[in-house]
């Protein structure tokens, strides 16, 4: 399917919002405390916080520049607050009050009239009327000042150049900079209601596109979105065209209740596994999903931020090293053998299931990427104390999963797999029990990440990490994710993995979902093309549902999925047939580039080549020699519906990989160099390589090779088998060529073209008089 990476609005639909719209505030805070914001009414926002130390501080933030929303949906940057007034009713509980020292303070960051960076600390009590916990606050930014009062330390605000502002909120007993734990965790709240912005610049322009539904679903994660309101997230999901399910990973760092213990803050030591802010946020999120017609899926993994995971719960290698991910800070992997860890996991799953029930939703629950951790040196982490006890007390050592294994070692992996399967099924069962008690529908799903569990370097790892205990009907649906291989071009491994998953677990296509993505860094936006390819393949496999992972990356990179036209199976419809008439020697062939040329005042030129490859145009009219030819042309034109459908054309001057028209050989064109992973090598032809060198050659992508003409060699050795010609003119190897192997190919090819115009102007009189008609064709640039 088609997509677009939008970097900015260029004439798309916009609307207006009031500045300080509650949906667009954010929250931030230092770990290990937690806070979240919700929007109980269109003109109100609520912050819920859980403080753990005497020095904890939460900030309720308004940004002058929208850096979180999709470029087509963001609000306009507006740093000038001159003449603008913000008013709201303030109520709070569990916080130091407005009228007390260290009470709620508005910190404003910006620049003074001279452009120097400045920060103002505004005591909100100076602009309030009422009590310390229930007051009306009015801020006319042209009259706002920092400092304790008008009479003591007054610091007038320069309102015309503000970057952001935030209200600082601290618990009772606050001591700045202290890490001393509070005697018990302290829940607190603040509400801003009847929020109004008046005066000058009170409204902000905001993007208001609505992408038509395109058949894809969205994935989100609480760890990435805890600082935003549910309303803001769902606005993006809806207006970017995503429908159906929302797969929501509850995360590994922000949802849980923590308790101070021996200098650390650990999970599993309190009655409620969820902290109050996470409860409030997810309650509103699930209810909004229901109201907007979405079906949320709560996803829970076996990961917990390592700093908060009890030591005994962690998976460990044989030498005692804990299993930790490479994230910073790292997360720990909980052992399926540890009863306390799994009991806590089931309580978390049940808590989220009950939140779904309370919101009126079906209980849909995903176990996300459960596995025994395998370290980079091949050690598998199945040797924590609980696991060793479950495996007989002294299980056989497996120092390296990449080596050949004995029967005793593979038997241990089978045991580990059975234990993992049992723990995941029990976890899903905890959510089914909640659904049954409430009398609502339920569904359980399992997500597997095939590049890890089916890594060819550790072929026996599947015994432990894709156990046969997961086979259908253990779960209602299976979900598959493959982005590491997808973005690395490991297509042979991907295709083999799909087949192995089908054979091993037995879920039919209508019971499988596909997770597409993700793009880790902003510098990797080229990966969206590969992700789109994966989406297309999933459609062809008839996957039940396709999720884009995840919303933060979609917004950051401006990804826009475009719907497939209803009246066509392909937006660039193409009939794989050849133009039926021979081309005469007087056929006009015109290659063209697009070059921007700017002449400076001194007469020098600056040239910018906008296309990397030429685009051809033809006039095939001179090839029509008879009335019979004319009839063939008219019939072919009608069958293509004019320019609506493309077709093949043989360019008589250039149709071979060898020179222009010579017989091809298997060594004509270098397609690439193997790396042991890449199995897909697109056909290309170089022009000017002899004169300019390969680095300066003009590269042409060949998408329409002639069937049966393609010859392939690897390191100079012709390959009669072990590969196939894929769609779009790409050589696909069954086994990826070895690292350093040079892949070459030879071929004959046609040009994909279409009729340039909706009409053909042919006069019988001029034709009989020997005048050739004009039949212009234009090359189709195919997306591959």
Structure tokens at 371: 């596995």
Q: Is residue 692 over pLDDT 80?
A: no
Report the C-alpha gap between 75 and 5 in whole angstroms: 18
Report the C-alpha gap between 299 and 345 in whole angstroms: 12
Q: Is residue 578 over pLDDT 90?
A: yes
Burial class (CB in 10 A: 0-12, 13-18, 19+), 523: exposed
Secondary structure of residue 344 in the 3-state scheme: helix
- Taking residues 195-215, what's their average pLDDT? 97
Q: How far is CA 206 from the centre of its chain?
A: 23
- Taking residues 589-600, what's their average pLDDT? 84
- Taking residues 183-194, what's their average pLDDT? 95
Report the C-alpha gap between 261 and 255 in whole angstroms: 18
Q: Is residue 180 over pLDDT 60?
A: yes
Range in 141-150, 379-388, 583-592, 711-720 the model is least confident about = 583-592
pLDDT band at 628 (very low <50, low <70, confident <90, very high): confident
The pLDDT assigned to 650 comes to 94
Burial class (CB in 10 A: 0-12, 13-18, 19+), 236: buried
- Taking residues 702-716, what's their average pLDDT? 95
The pLDDT assigned to 711 comes to 97
Phi-psi region of 381 (alpha: psi -120 to 50; beta: other; left: phi over 0): beta
Q: Is residue 89 over pLDDT 80?
A: yes
pLDDT band at 402 (very low <50, low <70, confident <90, very high): very high
What confidence tens digit (pLDDT) does each residue in 216-230 have? 999 999 999 999 999
CA dihedral in degrees (153, 158, 164, 168; nearest 10)?
20
Report the C-alpha gap between 141 and 160 in whole angstroms: 9
Range in 276-285, 494-503, 626-635, 761-770 the model is least confident about = 761-770
What is the end-to-end Cα distance of the chain in Å, rounded? 11
What confidence tens digit (pLDDT) does each residue in 420-438 have? 999 999 999 999 999 999 9
Q: Is residue 696 over pLDDT 70?
A: no
Q: Which of 549, 524, 243 is nearest to 369 (CA)?
A: 549
Secondary structure of residue 685 in the 3-state scheme: strand
Phi then psi for 487, rounded to 5 degrees? -75, -20
Report the C-alpha gap between 368 and 366 in whole angstroms: 6
Instruction: Name the CA radius of gyration of the chain, rounded.
Output: 32
Residues listed for the chain: 784
pLDDT band at 694 (very low <50, low <70, confident <90, very high): low
- Taking residues 154-174, what's their average pLDDT? 97
The pLDDT assigned to 601 comes to 76
Strand pairing of 117-123 and 128-131? unpaired
User: Which H or E element spans position 166?
Assistant: strand 162-169
Q: Which of 207, 288, 230 is nearest to 551 (CA)?
A: 230
Range in 146-160, 231-245, 521-535, 558-572 the model is least confident about = 558-572
pLDDT band at 771 (very low <50, low <70, confident <90, very high): low
Q: Is residue 690 over pLDDT 70?
A: no
- Taking residues 349-375, what's their average pLDDT? 98
Per the model's pLDDT, the better-predicted residue between 596 and 383 turns out to be 383
- Taking residues 253-279, what's their average pLDDT? 95
pLDDT band at 689 (very low <50, low <70, confident <90, very high): low
Vertex 746: Cα angle to 742 and 747 (nearest 5)? 145
User: Which H or E element spans position 408?
Assistant: helix 407-438
- Answer whether 558's CB lies under 8 Å from 6's CB: yes
Q: Is residue 269 over pLDDT 70?
A: yes
The pLDDT assigned to 566 comes to 55
pLDDT band at 764 (very low <50, low <70, confident <90, very high): low
- Answer whether 734's CB lies under 8 Å from 746's CB: no
Range in 198-212, 554-568, 723-737, 767-781 the model is least confident about = 767-781
Query: Above pLDDT 70, what percent of the chain?
Result: 96
The pLDDT assigned to 766 comes to 55
Report the C-alpha gap between 471 and 56 in whole angstroms: 47
pLDDT band at 483 (very low <50, low <70, confident <90, very high): very high
User: Which H or E element spans position 278?
Assistant: helix 276-291
Structure tokens at 576: 């794989």
Q: Is residue 118 over pLDDT 60?
A: yes
The pLDDT assigned to 237 comes to 98
Q: Which of 746, 736, 721, 554 is nearest to 661 (CA)?
A: 746
Provide the whole-model pTM. 0.87
Q: What is the mean pLDDT of the chain?
A: 93
Q: Which of 245, 215, 229, 226 is nearest to 21 (CA)?
A: 229
* Exposure of 324 in the CB half-sphere (CA atoms within 13 A): 15
Range in 542-546, 583-587, 668-672 the model is least confident about = 583-587
What confidence tens digit (pLDDT) does each residue in 34-72 have? 999 999 999 999 999 999 999 999 999 999 999 999 999
């Amino acid at each position: 399917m088609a997509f677009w990476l939008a970097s900015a609005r260029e004439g798309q639909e916009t609307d207006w919002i009031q500045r300080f719209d509650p949906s667009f505030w954010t929250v931030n805070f230092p770990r290990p405390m937690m806070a979240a914001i919700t929007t109980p009414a269109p003109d109100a926002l609520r912050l819920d916080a859980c403080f753990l130390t005497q020095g904890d501080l939460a900030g309720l933030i308004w940004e002058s520049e929208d850096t979180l929303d999709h470029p087509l949906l963001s609000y306009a940057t507006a740093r000038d607050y001159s003449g603008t007034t913000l008013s709201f009713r303030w109520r709070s509980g569990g916080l130091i009050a407005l009228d007390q020292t260290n009470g709620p303070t508005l910190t404003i960051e910006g620049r003074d009239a001279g452009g120097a960076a400045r920060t103002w600390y505004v005591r909100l009590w100076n602009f309030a009327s009422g009590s310390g916990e229930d007051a009306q606050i009015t801020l006319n930014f042209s009259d706002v000042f920092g400092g304790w009062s008008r009479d003591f330390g007054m610091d007038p605000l320069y309102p015309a150049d503000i970057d952001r502002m935030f209200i600082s909120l601290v618990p009772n007993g606050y001591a700045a900079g202290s890490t001393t734990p509070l005697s018990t965790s302290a829940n607190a709240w603040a509400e801003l209601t009847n929020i109004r912005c008046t005066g000058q610049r009170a409204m902000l322009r905001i993007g208001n596109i609505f992408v038509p539904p395109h058949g894809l679903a969205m994935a989100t994660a609480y760890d990435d979105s805890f600082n935003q309101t549910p309303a803001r997230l769902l606005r993006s999901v809806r207006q970017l065209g995503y429908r159906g399910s929302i797969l929501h990973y509850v995360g590994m760092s922000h949802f849980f209740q923590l308790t101070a213990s021996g200098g650390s803050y650990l999970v599993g030591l309190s009655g409620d596994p969820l902290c109050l802010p996470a409860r409030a946020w997810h309650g509103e999120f699930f209810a909004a999903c229901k109201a907007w017609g979405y079906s949320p899926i709560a996803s829970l993994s076996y990961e917990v931020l390592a700093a908060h995971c009890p030591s005994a719960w962690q998976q460990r290698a044989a030498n005692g090293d804990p299993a930790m991910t490479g994230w910073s800070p790292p997360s720990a992997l909980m052992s399926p053998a540890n009863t306390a860890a799994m009991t806590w996991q089931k309580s978390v799953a049940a808590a989220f299931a009950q939140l779904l029930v309370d919101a009126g939703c079906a209980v849909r629950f995903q176990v996300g990427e459960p596995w025994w951790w395998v370290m980079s040196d091949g050690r598998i982490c199945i040797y924590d104390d609980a696991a060793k006890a479950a495996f007989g007390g002294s299980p056989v050592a497996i120092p390296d999963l990449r080596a050949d294994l004995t029967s005793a070692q593979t038997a241990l992996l089978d045991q580990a797999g059975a234990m993992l399967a049992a723990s995941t099924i029990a976890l899903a069962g905890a959510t089914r029990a909640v659904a049954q008690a409430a009398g609502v529908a339920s569904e359980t799903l399992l997500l597997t990440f095939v590049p890890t569990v089916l890594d060819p370097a550790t072929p026996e790892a599947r015994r432990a990490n894709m156990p046969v205990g997961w086979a259908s009907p253990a779960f209602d649906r299976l979900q598959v994710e493959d982005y590491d291989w997808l973005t690395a071009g490991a297509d042979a491994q991907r295709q083999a993995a799909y087949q192995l998953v089908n054979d091993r677990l037995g879920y039919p296509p209508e019971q499988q979902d596909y997770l597409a993505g993700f793009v880790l860094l902003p510098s990797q936006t080229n990966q969206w093309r590969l992700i789109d390819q994966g989406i297309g393949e999933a459609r062809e496999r008839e996957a039940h549902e396709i999720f884009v992972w995840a919303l933060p990356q979609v917004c950051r990179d401006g990804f826009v999925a475009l719907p497939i036209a209803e009246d066509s199976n392909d937006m660039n419809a193409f009939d794989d047939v050849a133009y039926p008439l021979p081309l005469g020697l007087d056929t006009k062939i015109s290659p063209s580039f697009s070059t921007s040329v700017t002449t400076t005042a001194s007469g020098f030129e600056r040239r910018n080549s906008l296309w990397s490859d030429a685009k051809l145009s033809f006039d095939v009219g001179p090839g029509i020699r008879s009335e019979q030819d004319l009839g063939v042309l008219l019939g072919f034109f009608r069958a293509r519906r004019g320019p609506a459908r493309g077709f093949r054309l043989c360019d008589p001057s250039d149709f071979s990989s060898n020179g222009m028209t010579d017989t091809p050989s298997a060594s004509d064109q270098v397609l690439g160099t193997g790396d042991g992973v890449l199995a897909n090598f697109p056909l290309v032809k170089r022009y000017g390589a002899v004169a300019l060198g390969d680095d300066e050659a003009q590269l042409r992508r060949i998408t329409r090779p002639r069937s049966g003409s393609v010859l392939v060699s690897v390191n100079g050795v012709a390959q009669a088998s072990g590969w196939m010609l894929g769609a779009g003119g790409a050589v696909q190897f069954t086994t990826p060529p070895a690292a350093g192997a040079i892949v070459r190919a030879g071929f004959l090819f046609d040009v994909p073209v279409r009729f340039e115009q909706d009409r053909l102007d042919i006069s019988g009189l001029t034709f009989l008089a020997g005048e050739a008609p004009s039949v212009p064709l234009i090359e189709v640039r195919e997306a591959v």
